[in-house]
Amino acid sequence: MFRGFFGRQPDESALDPLQDLVLEKLRVGYLVDYDLKTWRVTAHNTYDFDGQKVDEWELAYDRELRYLERYEEDEEVWSLATKVPIGTLGDAVRDRLYAQEEPPGEIVHRDRAYYLSGDAAGYFREGGVGEPQPMLTWEYSDADNAHFLTVEQWGEREIEASVSVRVHTFEFTNILPGPAADA
């Protein structure tokens, strides 16, 4: 009541630790603990698949990179992905995409079979802003629907792959703002 009276206005940009230090509000520079390691948020990107928005945070620990993704289906879904070289999926995946422009129905990676479960065309925005980059994606899941593999095509010939698992927000702790968070 008296803050405005003496000329001091409340700082609207100040962090509220109960509201702002939560996983879905991670910013570049924040730190977060996961799997006994402290990860730094190095990027926040977005995808748009026909109106379905996906948030992606790049997390770095030493030389390791992970990609934390959040999207809404019937409920909030979180996954943690690691990029894998496309060559580790076998030459047939890349060759089939180039020659037939459609993916195989099954991919084996590290002795785990993944089955095609969906595909989508969408747009990627680096930093969540800027010019959208078109892309195609194919989603695979294992028989237990516990592990996932994603193949993405960017332009004519650039293909990337990642493997991921579902995660829960309670697995991430000690969220702290970092030096680049306010930049």
Pairing of strands 37-49, 76-84: unpaired
State the CB neighbour count (10 A cutoff) for residue 52.
12
Q: Which two tokens stand for residue 51?
A: 């109106």
In the numeric block, which tokens belong to residue 33? Answer: 């603990």
Contact 23, 79 (CB under 8 A): no
Q: Looking at residue 9, what is its pLDDT? A: 57
Query: Tens place of pLDDT for every residue, the chain, 183 residues?
Result: 455 555 555 555 565 655 678 899 999 999 999 999 999 999 999 999 988 999 999 999 999 999 999 999 889 999 999 999 988 888 778 888 877 778 889 999 999 999 999 999 999 999 988 889 999 999 999 999 899 999 999 988 889 999 999 999 999 999 999 775 444
Distance in angstroms (rounded) separating the CA atoms of residues 144 and 139:
15
